[in-house]
Amino acid sequence: MLRVLVDADNVPPPRLSPVLALLDDVVGMRMTASGRRAALARLDWPADAELLPSAGWQRADLALAAAYRPSADPLVLISGDGDFALLATRHPGPVLVVSGAASGRLRDGTTVVDPATDGTAPIRAWLARHGVEFAQRGAVRRPPE
């Protein structure tokens, strides 16, 4: 299962929106997002995303760290905040950081993609390399014969 942690205070909507649209097609994902209520309200989130409104210095970081559980599954960390470097480097599975300005500490041992300059194709390719499946939109499902 893909695990996604989103720091809504750290990544602006123009960078985050196309990533959320891409991730909305992922089969088997658990997303947790935290940030100020206004930051969370600016975006359309996947229906099953867990939204944790938080206010105050480092509160979103603390909420996301508390929601994180280590596993060998792929982790997408949408934040450039260096406070997540230890989490990212200690995660037992592969880690993708989505950010326009990832801290140097976050770049160690992870793949970093900036959707504003790179688009979402590198994100989709990374997910596919790590076994993440996408729903077939518009496909007709037939019962087995």
- pTM assigned to the model: 0.90
Token pair for 109 = 């041992």
Mean pLDDT, the chain, integer: 89
pLDDT in tens, 70-89: 999 999 999 888 888 888 98
Class of domain 2-132: alpha beta
The residue ranges of DSSP E strands in the chain, in sequence order, are: 2-7, 26-27, 29-35, 50-53, 75-78, 95-98, 111-113, 133-134
DSSP-derived 3-state class of residue 91: coil
**Residue 145 pLDDT > 80, yes or no?**
no
108-125 pLDDT tens trace? 778 899 999 999 999 999
Say what the pLDDT of residue 43 is.
94
